[in-house]
Structure 1
Amino acid sequence: MKIRTLASGLTHLLFIALIALAAAKSAQDSGRPEAEPGAHQPVRAAEARLAEQTGNMVDAGQSRTLPASADAEVERAAEAPADDEAAQTVAPEEPAPRAKREQTEPAAKPLSRNERLMRRLVSAYPAFLAGYEDNAIIWHDGTRMPFDDGREKTFKQRLTDPDLEDQFYAEYPRGLRGVPPLENVDPGRVRYEPFFEKMYGNCKDDRRAVSARLKEVVWLPENYGKTLRVTKVNGVADALQKVSNKLDKLPQRFMKYLRPSAGTYHCRTIAGTERFSVHAFGAAVDINAKYGDYWRWSGAEPGETLVYRNRIPWEIVEIFEQHGFIWGGKWYHYDTLHFEYRPELLNGPAPEPVSAPAPAPLPAKRPVPEQRAAR
């Protein structure tokens, strides 16, 4: 009797297992995700209670059939949903959105050579120039001054009939370089006179147009103390005072090149020409002519091959250049005692560093007084 009861219980357990397997397969076929490990806890609990009842009956030697309610309980447990938390499936993570490529603006059109030069000119004289457009420099008063006349010119034509673009035909070599200059390389010696007359005035037509705007500069305050007069337009006088103060701190061996000054403002033309000297605009200074060299003093004529001469130390030249003055010693047609205010020629691309020492000055004969007057 006990054996039959035990066999009946085992058969019923097998029946319950088959029901559970059928329920799991049904859930899989319906497309539901496989349940988590805790999802079948209700079925297992029902099975445990049924096994407990069966075991108790076997131990007690009772013979009884399982109630119909037991089968129903197992079926309900198999169909019951799993615990909410356990039944939830983890949704696959959405792939991170691709980073949007940085949208860059179209590259700006590179400036032409003339545009770069006009920009340099405007930045050098902001008190007068408002900007540039097309092929013209625009002044604050609205004047539009053509920049490039488009003509090919010889060296002589650049000197006698230049435009603003011709002023940049040769790059000025800042720092310890550019000496001796190559043939007909005279950066700064070409000048478009209407440009300078509009800023500084025309002393020939009206002397007061320039002289009324002159300002005194104390030349070498500690080592000389005399005054020079240059234009205050474009800050020239203030720039020259800074030069003077720095030169004044150089060792005594440099003072002989600087005093006395050979002159500043002088309403005159360049020797052998009808072109104004920058001295006529009050924007130039000559240092001691005793140690200066000028190409005409050598006896050479225009067009002849020149032998470069210079005795001015580099230390003096560098101080002038730091404050907007170019040096005539960097011209093929050299004028080594001459400095003029031309910031547009010094604000270009930075020069390559120099590793070699500066070339030694070349000897020159002292010019006679009548030759000096010919400048």
Structure 2
Amino acid sequence: MSDEPIADPAFGGSCPLPIADYPTVQMAHGGGGRLTQQLIEGLLLPAFDNDALAALHDGAVLDAGNARLAFTTDSYVVRPLFFPGGDIGSLAVHGTVNDLAMCGARPLALSCALILEEGLPMETLARVVTSMRAAAAAAGVPVVTGDTKVVDRGKGDGIYVNTAGIGLVEPGLVIDPRRARPGDAVLLSGSIAEHGTAILSVREGLEFESPIESDSAPLHGLVAILIARLGPDLHVLRDPTRGGVASALNEIAQRAGLGVRLEETAVPVTGPVRAVCELLGLDPLYVANEGKLLAIVAREAAETALDALRSHPLGRDAAIVGEVVEDAPGRVTLRSSIGGLRVVDLLTGEQLPRIC
């Protein structure tokens, strides 16, 4: 097979994604790891090139007259539809609210588009919609518009959900990976890998003395506290969903042109989650979260940020887990419990497909 790119006038004569490596879409293209990055940078960014998209944030921040709006969209294909701690409906609301919050925005409104498979029980659809309504009401962010499509029986998987959202960003507030500076502290709002292990335990029929539940939750209240307490000392926010903490920090490091160094002993992981990961050969750093955030703040504001996070129920287990460093630009390293350093790279494969 030729290594030459595909000729396509839409890309000025050639498609920037080499077909020699992946002539068809792979599951890992949606996993948040290296193949997702290659798909975005090799195909999607060149196709839709603009400054707002090039920021590669969880959403776009747009100037609209005297206002600054954050705009984001996400699709949900999680399997199973219902899982401990949530379901596809509440997950869709929380995920979109959180993407707006990671831009520093106060969420204003959501859209909801449903792709339904012929034969889906109406009871199942009602459960999902009721859950979305409850999640939106609890977050204080209404669903104001939407769409519904139905595909033939056997051509879908019950239900897929797309949600988009808009939010308002305060004047002068800039949350962006490029604001990271050497010496900045890296904080996590709580224990990791709970969403991914909750989904996996249902799929594999695993049962534990202490049930594992998804951490799915709206984080905009937690972010509002950080913004109020830290102001310009809050440099970067990211919710480590697909690909987990490892992928999120790699994206930040690459955008900032700096390194990130984690301390293994500082990263909070609950006993049941650690046990599942050891049983199945998973690294918690790569497992998805849906109710945690990463914050990168000025070194002198680290303790203030930690106190702010711990003042909120969703941040009570927050911890300072690392720092931004000048060496190894664009890479994430981890200092192990015995003092050694290892590189925490992007995953190439897909360890947990359809996790959100």
Give the TM bin, normalised by the shorter chain: under 0.3
Q: Which has the higher helix share?
A: 1
Q: Which has the higher strand share?
A: 2
Higher gyration radius (CA)? 1
**What is the TM-score with the length of structure 2 in the denominator?**
0.22
Q: Bigger relative contact order, structure 1 or 2, given CA contacts below 8 A and separation 6+?
A: 2
